Amino acid sequence: MNLRTRLDSTRAPLSWDVIVVGGGPCGAAAAWSLAGRGWRVGLVDRQAFPREKVCGDALLPDALHALRRLALADEVFKAGHRVSSLSIVTPGGRELRVPGEFLTLRREVLDAILHRGAVRAGAEAIQAEAVAVFETGRRVRVEFRSLPPIEARTCILATGAETRLVQAFEGVAPVPPTAIASRRYIRSGHSLDRLMVTYDRGLGPAYAWIFPLGGGWFNVGVGSLWGARLARDHPALFDRFTALCPEARAVMAAGEASGPLRSAPLRCGLDERVLRPGRLCLAAGELAASTFPFTGEGIGKALETGLLAAEAVGGFLSGDERGLEAYGPAVRQLEPKYRAYHAAHRLLNHPRLMELAAWRLNRSPWLAARLAAVLREEEDPRALFSVSGLLTSFFR
Ligand SMILES: Cc1cc2nc3c(=O)[nH]c(=O)nc-3n(C[C@H](O)[C@H](O)[C@H](O)COP(=O)(O)OP(=O)(O)OC[C@H]3O[C@@H](n4cnc5c(N)ncnc54)[C@H](O)[C@@H]3O)c2cc1C
């Protein structure tokens, strides 16, 4: 019997141990973890998978690390395109190359692999738009636009930059999106051996990227701070980028765009106020602003916070009444990992310091190795992004 028939034929709402709302990387990781431990998990998304998600499609080392924990790295590596360095172009046009393990894969494919992984582990996929979540005594009730309500013992909200469901909880006021970014797919004969992110001052208060996807495809995009003038005119910003940056010009000259420039908001920098919107509900992923500032990279921390939420929910479902309380402190432990990105973001306001840091990084193998280790999250970013870190590098 399919879900709709089951819902229509029962007078009381169907009940799960946990309902995960949002089937992106965060929700899929949480559902995979809980279903794998034998809990009854409903994984809700308003869209059917595979579905498109506006993104740069780049997986940085923290995302690859999380995928290995999910035992899905092999499948993702097989589908993706490996890249072994990342270039960061400073506002003054200096290019820094950071070696590392990177992968690109269209989100349509990545998210379908993750969603399928969760279903394979035992989660039940429910395609419906959740319109309200509220707690009734010891249960959570989720209401939908097109299905009868369902109930669960607990709930993980993982709706990305969409904050409507948590806003309805009393006293929860999530910060609005912090940035907006847009991407376009280009098929081109040009070849590029690295991921490129640029903060060239010619773009204004904005950044842009070119990520090779393999097979002659590129993800080319621009991002700007929420509320900045440029956020309203991304097509013009995109044109400026592809005229200004030699690599982007070369990609465009040898290629053609497939589909329109598409935009989406980002929530960056961790928003602790939404982690626990209710007694029985947790919020994770981009909804909790888990995306990194400066680069807008968020898949890795969406996966990681999803797994942390699952850990706390697992404890609660096993009988630990205070299990959900472990989630906030666990997420706060990630905070140092955001410091490098906050520091780099702040450097953008000090262009001379940024040029000095970039100049130094290009000359110091010690500093370049530290930066690669920070990206792999093997080193505390304070060793690098501090005045003392920079000074130390002059003696190495
Ligand atoms: C243009 C752009 C470029 C980016 N580039 C990169 C990049 O290269 N690398 C990187 O790591 N990160 C990148 N990011 C950030 C990355 O996309 C996010 O951090 C990541 O998708 C967050 O995952 P998530 O699972 O928390 O949310 P999402 O991936 O947004 O998933 C949320 C899911 O919830 C569903 N949903 C929402 N509301 C409801 C509802 N009411 N009912 C049911 N379902 C609902 C949605 O359909 C969606 O499937 C980029 C973002 C943008 C906008």
- pLDDT tens for 31-62 read 999 999 999 999 999 999 999 999 999 999 99
Give, in order, the Cα–Cα distances in Å from 70 to each of 19, 168, 318.
19, 32, 21
Q: Which of 46, 234, 268 to mutate to test the pocket of ligand 1 (most atoms within 8 A of CB)?
A: 46
pLDDT of residue 390: 60
pLDDT at 166 over 90: yes
- Distance CA(191)–CA(214), nearest Å, equals 9
Q: Domain limits at 363? A: 351-393
Q: Residues lining ligand 1, judged by CB closer than 6 Å?
A: 21-27, 44-47, 53-58, 63, 129-130, 158-160, 162, 165, 181-183, 221, 264, 266, 285-286, 291, 296-300, 302
Establish if 344 belongs to a structural domain.
Answer: no
Cβ atoms of residues 158 and 20 within 8 Å: yes
Q: Taking the CB of residue 89, how many other CB atoms lie within 10 A of it?
A: 20
CA-proximal residue: ligand 1, atom 7 (nearest)? 56
228, 250: one domain: yes
Establish if 116 belongs to a structural domain.
Answer: yes
Residue 298 alpha carbon to ligand 1 centre in Å = 8
Q: Which helix (H) or strand (E) holds 336?
A: helix 335-347
383, 362: one domain: yes
126, 218: one domain: no
Mean pLDDT for the chain?
89
Structural domain count, the chain: 3
Residue 282 alpha carbon to ligand 1 centre in Å = 17
21, 48: one domain: yes
CATH number of the domain that residue 203 is part of:
3.30.9.10
Residue 299 alpha carbon to ligand 1 centre in Å = 8
Residue with tokens 């995960």: 20
Please spell the DSSP secondary structure of 253-291, one letter per residue.
HTEEEEEEEEEEEE-BS--GGGS-SSSSEEE-GGGGT-B
CA-based nearest residue to 118, from 30, 220, 217: 30
Which atom number of ligand 1 is nearest to the Cα of residue 182?
A: 1
User: Considering Cα of 331, then 335, then 341, then 346, what sign does the dihedral take?
Assistant: positive
Establish if 66 belongs to a structural domain.
Answer: no
Cβ atoms of residues 57 and 80 within 8 Å: no
3-class state of residue 40 by DSSP: coil
CATH number of the domain that residue 291 is part of:
3.50.50.60
pLDDT at 229 over 60: no
Establish if 69 belongs to a structural domain.
Answer: no
> Taking residues 362-381, what's their average pLDDT?
78
Entry pTM: 0.93
Give, in order, the Cα–Cα distances in Å from 192 to each of 106, 189, 219, 247.
17, 10, 12, 8
218, 251: one domain: yes
Q: Examine the fold and report which residue of 209, 239, 266 is the final residue of a domain before the chain moves on.
A: 266
pLDDT of residue 230: 47
CA-proximal residue: ligand 1, atom 17 (nearest)? 55
Residues 160/166/167/168 CA torsion (nearest 10 deg): 140
CA-based nearest residue to 284, from 21, 17, 57, 37: 21
198, 258: one domain: yes
- Distance CA(158)–CA(36), nearest Å, equals 19
Establish if 240 belongs to a structural domain.
Answer: yes
98, 238: one domain: yes
113, 200: one domain: no
pLDDT for 245-284, tens place per residue? 999 999 999 999 999 999 999 998 898 889 999 999 999 9
pLDDT band at 358 (very low <50, low <70, confident <90, very high): confident
Q: Residue 32 burial by CB count (10 A; 0-12/13-18/19+): exposed, middle or buried?
A: buried
Q: Which helix (H) or strand (E) holds 372?
A: helix 365-375
